[in-house]
Chain A
Amino acid sequence: MVSDYKVSLLSNLVAKKLVWQSVPIFEKAATLSESYSFSSLKQSQKIWGVTKSIRDSERVLELFVPIQADTSTIRDKFKKFGVPIKFIRTKGFESYFATKPRQSITTGNPARHFRLNGWGTLGGYVDDKLSNLRLAISNNHVFGNLNRASINDRIEYDTGAGIIQIGGFRRMFPLLPPPDVNNVDAAVAWVKDDINLKWIRKKPRGSIRPRLNMEVYKIGATTGYTEGFISSIALNHRVKYHGAGIFNFVNSIVILGKNGYPFSLPGDSGSLVFKKSTHEAVGMIFAGDGTYSFANSFKNIESLLQISI
């Protein structure tokens, strides 16, 4: 039977020599085997901890070793002591310190200028050709408060559990009242550095011009994921904006949902439209009537707002 004293001394010796790697070794442990060398143990066999234990009423030394450690080599090193060894494999010990989790925002969820009562959709993230800011994109009437926003105005996002500020208004392409006509309803906001930007599905692979009958999808805050077809790429029409009157648009994309279901509904404004087969951005939803959905060409938006996806 190995004495408790001997196991204690060996435990201390191992702690000094192998766990803490300090010298000189513990005074009493030195009496066991001062000359014994553990230096041949490789880094992968580094011992994370040592303790004495009792197993089947016998005193044993428990060594916490790396999962990949070759225990036979280590066991050989301890043979001379005549103390039973028990190995406990571990991934390693680490402090339970945790940093505050970063807030994440995801495309396809509700977002708006802080002065709006309703919500649009956070369409996506784009690179700014004029700065190094991280930009989020939606409509002028969502982020830009329909021409009324000032730079750095608060942009809000609905997490589902509450409303947070994600950043500030950056710039928009102004909407012109009649008799002028408009090409796009688009604006961008900068996003705070401590917010993670997530795409709800796939990160887009650039942008592409719309084509008739192109199969497309979008993910909006109201109707979620829907698929449809482009039925027109050159619609000239009027759109009513609540509290701001009617505006004229040219060259809008018209999209019909599959099987008669709406492609988009109120709250989906700002959703990016993607070509289904390639995940390239085709347009951005800004209006509709429950059957027809209207989008601006994303190529035009990129050009006019000086951004790229």
Chain B
Amino acid sequence: MSKLELEKITTQFSKNWLNRKGIWGIEPKSDHKNQNIVMYVNLDEIDYDEIPKQYKGVRTIIKPVDKFEAQTS
């Protein structure tokens, strides 16, 4: 799969999942060996079992986060 295809798939996936509570970010991640979708997730806000482990054959990687917020002081 090309990098562009992975980006397209990630964009489609984001449309469904980025507005869900607990999902703070989604990005494509590819290196010479693997192509994955990385999800930044607050696991206190969404249950692990509800999070898709793959989308259209691309594995999702869950990275636990608290939240993303503006960096004002």
A226 to B61 Cα, complex, angstroms: 8
**Chain B positions 46-64 with a Cβ under 8 Å from a chain A Cβ:** 48-49, 53-54, 61-64
Which of B38, B41, B53, B64 sits near A259, CB closer than 8 Å?
B53
Q: Select from chain A the residue with minimum beta-carbon distance to B54.
A: A261
Interface of B is mostly: strand
Which of B34, B38, B54, B62 sits near A226, CB closer than 8 Å?
B62
| Contact A227/B38 with A200-B64, A259-B53 known, Cβ cut-off 8 Å | no
A285 at the interface (CB under 8 A from B): no
| Contact A225/B63 with A201-B43, A258-B48 known, Cβ cut-off 8 Å | yes
Which of B34, B41, B54 sits near A225, CB closer than 8 Å?
B41
Question: How near does chain A come to B46, taking the closest CB pair, in angstroms?
Answer: 12
> B64 contacts which chain A residues (CB < 8 A)?
108, 200-201, 219, 224-225
Judge whether A224 and B62 touch: CB under 8 Å. Answer: yes
Question: How near does chain A come to B17, taking the closest CB pair, in angstroms?
Answer: 15
| Contact A224/B48 with A259-B53, A261-B53 known, Cβ cut-off 8 Å | no
| Contact A224/B38 with A201-B43, A258-B48 known, Cβ cut-off 8 Å | yes
Judge whether B53 and A225 touch: CB under 8 Å. Answer: no
> A258 contacts which chain B residues (CB < 8 A)?
48-49
Question: How near does chain A come to B47, taking the closest CB pair, in angstroms?
Answer: 10
> A217 contacts which chain B residues (CB < 8 A)?
48
Judge whether A225 and B38 touch: CB under 8 Å. Answer: no
A222 to B31 Cα, complex, angstroms: 11
A223 at the interface (CB under 8 A from B): yes
Contact with B along A210-247 (1 / 0, CB 8 A): 00000001010011111100000000000000000000
A31 to B53 Cα, complex, angstroms: 79
Q: Select from chain A the residue with minimum beta-carbon distance to B47.
A: A227
> B54 contacts which chain A residues (CB < 8 A)?
261
> B34 contacts which chain A residues (CB < 8 A)?
222
User: Which of A201, A217, A222, A224: most chain B Cβ within 10 A?
Assistant: A224
Question: How near does chain A come to B9, taking the closest CB pair, in angstroms?
Answer: 18
A261 to B34 Cα, complex, angstroms: 16
Judge whether B61 and A224 touch: CB under 8 Å. Answer: yes
Question: How near does chain B come to A229, taking the closest CB pair, in angstroms?
Answer: 13
Extra contacts, 9 of them, besides A225-B48, A258-B48 (Cβ < 8 A), are A217-B48, A222-B34, A223-B61, A224-B63, A225-B43, A225-B63, A259-B53, A261-B53, A261-B54
7 closest Cβ pairs, A-B complex: A224-B61, A225-B62, A201-B64, A224-B62, A261-B53, A227-B48, A224-B63
A residues contacting B by CB (< 8 A) are: 108, 200-201, 217, 219, 222-227, 258-259, 261
